Amino acid sequence: METYDVIIIGTGAGGGTLARHLAPSGKKILLLERGDWLPREPQNWLSQNVFVENRYVSEDTWYDEKGKPFQPQIHYFVGGATKLYGAALYRLRAEDFGELAHHDGISPAWPISYDELEPYYTQAEQLYQVHGARGEDPTEPPSSAPYPHPAVSHEPRIQQLSDQLAAAGYHPFHAPCGILLNEANMAYSTCVRCANCDGFPCPVHAKADAEVLGVRPALEHANVTLLRNAKAVRLETNESGTAVTDVVVEHNGGTENFAGNVVVVACGAANTARLLLASANDKHPNGLANGSDQVGRNFMFHDSVAVLALSREENPTVYQKTLGLNDFYFGSDDFEYPLGNIQMVGKSQAPMFHGEKPGETKLAPEWTLERVARHAIDFWLSTEDLPRPENRVSVDRDGKLTLSYAETNAEAKKQLYEKLHSILGKLDLNPGHLFHRFAYMKNEIPVAGCAHQAGTCRFGADPGTSVLDVDCKAHELDNLYVVDTSIFPSIGAVNPALTAMANSLRVGDRLLERLAA
Ligand X SMILES: Cc1cc2nc3c(=O)[nH]c(=O)nc-3n(C[C@H](O)[C@H](O)[C@H](O)COP(=O)(O)OP(=O)(O)OC[C@H]3O[C@@H](n4cnc5c(N)ncnc54)[C@H](O)[C@@H]3O)c2cc1C
Asked if 212 interacts with ligand SF4 (CB under 6 A), we say: no
Do residues 176 and 88 touch, judged by C-beta distance below 8 A? Answer: yes
AA letter at 130? V
CB under 5 to 8 A by kind: which of ligand X, ligand SF4, none does 395 bind?
none
Asked if 484 interacts with ligand X (CB under 6 A), we say: yes
Comparing CB distances to ligand X, the nearer of 6 and 81 is 81
Write down the H helix ranges in 65-190: 114-127, 156-167
Task: Tell me how far CA of residue 29 lies from CA of 8, 213, 260, in angstroms.
Answer: 8, 17, 9
Span near ligand X by CB under 6 A; candidates 41-49, 73-81, 114-122, 188-196: 73-81
Min CB(492)–ligand SF4 separation in Å? 24
Distance CA 73, CA 70 (A): 9
Question: What is the size of the binding site for ligand SF4 (CB under 6 A)?
Answer: 13
Asked if 206 interacts with ligand SF4 (CB under 6 A), we say: yes
Select from 11, 107, 196, 466 the one that contacts ligand SF4 (CB under 6 A): 196
Write down the H helix ranges in 269-324: 269-278
Distance CA 240, CA 118 (A): 38
Query: Contacts with ligand X in 242-271 (CB under 6 A)?
Result: 266-268, 271
AA letter at 268? G
Asked if 82 interacts with ligand X (CB under 6 A), we say: yes
Comparing CB distances to ligand SF4, the nearer of 200 and 337 is 200
Min CB(152)–ligand SF4 separation in Å? 9
Nearest to 435 by CA among 377, 365, 381: 377
Nearest to 201 by CA among 39, 345, 47, 44: 44
CB under 5 to 8 A by kind: which of ligand SF4, ligand X, none does 197 bind?
ligand SF4
Do residues 131 and 147 touch, judged by C-beta distance below 8 A? Answer: yes
Q: Which residues pair with 101 in a beta bridge?
A: 106
Q: How many residues does the chain have?
A: 517
Asked if 76 interacts with ligand X (CB under 6 A), we say: yes
Distance CA 347, CA 472 (A): 38
Report the DSSP pairing between strands 172-174 and 224-227. unpaired
CA dihedral 407→412→413→417, nearest 10 degrees, is 160
Comparing CB distances to ligand X, the nearer of 498 and 511 is 498
Select from 495, 503, 507, 508 the one that contacts ligand X (CB under 6 A): 495
Asked if 207 interacts with ligand SF4 (CB under 6 A), we say: yes
Span near ligand SF4 by CB under 6 A; candidates 3-11, 167-175, 204-212, 256-264: 204-212
Asked if 111 interacts with ligand X (CB under 6 A), we say: no
Asked if 80 interacts with ligand X (CB under 6 A), we say: yes
Asked if 456 interacts with ligand X (CB under 6 A), we say: no
Comparing CB distances to ligand SF4, the nearer of 207 and 458 is 207
Asked if 199 interacts with ligand X (CB under 6 A), we say: yes
Question: Cβ–Cβ contacts within 10 Å for residue 61, how many?
Answer: 11
Write down the H helix ranges in 176-310: 216-219, 269-278
Comparing CB distances to ligand SF4, the nearer of 190 and 225 is 190
Asked if 202 interacts with ligand SF4 (CB under 6 A), we say: yes
Nearest to 288 by CA among 238, 232, 231, 235: 235
Select from 12, 172, 201, 340 the one that contacts ligand X (CB under 6 A): 12
The angle at the Cα of 51, spanning 49 to 54, to the nearest 5 degrees, equals 65
Asked if 374 interacts with ligand SF4 (CB under 6 A), we say: no
Report the DSSP pairing between strands 62-64 and 69-70. antiparallel
CB under 5 to 8 A by kind: which of ligand X, ligand SF4, none does 337 bind?
none
Asked if 191 interacts with ligand SF4 (CB under 6 A), we say: yes
List of residues contacting ligand SF4 (CB under 6 A): 179, 191-194, 196-197, 200, 202, 204, 206-207, 319
List of residues contacting ligand X (CB under 6 A): 9-15, 32-35, 75-76, 80-82, 84-89, 199, 231-232, 266-268, 271, 275, 451-452, 484-485, 495-498, 500
